[in-house]
Chains A and B, each alone.
Chain A
């Protein structure tokens, strides 16, 4: 049987490469599908926050297929390259952005060992490739040959180069606690109940989570930091001149990197793929076996990432956009010193906590305090009944003498 044995010989040699291609396909499918989901979610979330319904017709009651309709529309749109644009740079801009966002997924573990490439320095790799994403946006903005796009690209460059610094420093804080840059390793250390999560480890990691999440929102150029697009000032910022498929690719990249930073946040701070409700030392694999347990891990991880993306949308549609100088001051005057202080603080804490064991009580205090606060907020939100205003809407100007249909003054 020489033929079969030689086939298996080649199979053995080629299998890792086939596996690599397969995992890349799975990852890019996941990234694009979740982008489709996020676009729908963004429409629905923004609509609910603005007291609207959002898409309701395409694909049933909740407008599930709205994004597919959008995508179809964008695909058949005319592809315009402005006369003033530099065609080569204009073309490659979106692809560089998408490649940067996608490469980050290679090192992102979705479960215990469910990762395309278990890099030893996964978090550093992710930060590095995500910094290439902005280069595509800057190129696109520059090459459009339009002033709006140029301003958008310049703002993007200034903003991201500044926000990368506190983002990287606040990433080092949990890395110091975990003692590893391997994301799988960091995830494994948070097995068991939720007070094992690094965010509750000490006050410094707790603050570092908020600093990181703010910087991550800014580096995905999401509102209130979306100065690169700033519709109210710059028409559409860096993508003013883009239409159709290239515009779509920019947004795929944005939603992809939103999930990537949310994934980083949930692994570094929020327990990664652990549900946080199991007793110490237990994880899903011990409960349900390797395969099914890891399946639950992946589901938990994706839900956590989606929740953080939802929080980003919630923030976007709640807070007004900052001015560009306010964005820079937020970073350079507040977030940067804060992250440096947290870095020094967590280093001191690690040295001191080794001596004083009672300091670990802070861990439980933080965990249960946050749980109580979260529960209280959910209770308040659920207990408050939503009432549609029967009187003058807050903020509306009463017009003397003319009571509109919605204005029913009561004596």
Chain B
């Protein structure tokens, strides 16, 4: 076992343990703190795999945005000093069944998928310093063709040749989605603001 594998298992173990702690903890803010370690651990695995852009995005979106908003929401809405959730036995049972089903589906998919054998040593992922992952990601948005994977696609049946990819630019759909999000944000801010009638004392 080389150091990289050892690091992977350490990170994966910490991520899994803190993910369990997120579910088990009854205090909302405590489970948000555990979620921080889960998300940070996943980001660490991304960094370990050389996908530094995805890792940094994970941190900036989830830790810097969503987690802060979770705690902010609890601060604004909590009645008492520390909010705890009481989960009944039925809720435990239902969530256990759903969780186990999802887990088995994901495990089956992961086990049955034909993974490329030399993925670990592919030159693109060798090092975060020389890898051009984020450059390729940007190029893919603009529809530059060289980024179509040369290796076997995961999840594609072994032995068959994958279909020739058409040149697709994702920039326009991406922009449309982000403008849509902006519209939603402005709408939410409009709905949430305090209504003030004209002529009323402020």
Residues of A within 8 A of B (CB): 13-14, 17, 84, 86, 88-89, 92, 96, 117-121, 124-125, 127-129, 131-132, 134-135, 138-139, 142-143, 145, 150, 153-154, 157-158, 160-161, 164, 181
Contacts and interface: CB of A to CB of B under 8 A. Distances in A.
Interface of A is mostly: helix
Nearest to A14: B3
A139 B3 contact: no
Q: Which 5 A-B pairs have the closest CB atoms?
A: A131-B64, A128-B60, A128-B59, A128-B56, A157-B72
B129 A142 contact: no
A13 B3 contact: yes
B82 interface: yes
Contacts, number: 103
A153 B74 CA distance: 12
Contacts of B36: 96, 132, 135
Contacts of A117: 128-129
A121 B53 contact: yes
A142 B73 CA distance: 12
A17 B71 contact: no
Given A119-B128, A128-B59, A138 B52 contact: no
24 contacts: A17-B3, A86-B27, A88-B30, A88-B33, A117-B128, A119-B128, A120-B132, A121-B52, A124-B134, A127-B56, A128-B57, A129-B56, A131-B59, A131-B60, A132-B36, A135-B64, A138-B68, A139-B71, A142-B29, A145-B82, A153-B75, A157-B71, A158-B72, A161-B69
Interface residues of B, number: 35
Contact of B134 (A120, A131, A139): A120
A157 B68 contact: yes
B72 A154 contact: yes
A142 B56 contact: no
Contact of A135 (B53, B63, B75, B131): B63
B191 interface: no
Contacts of B2: 13
A160 B134 CA distance: 26
Nearest to B135: A120
B76 interface: yes
Contacts of B135: 120
B153 interface: no
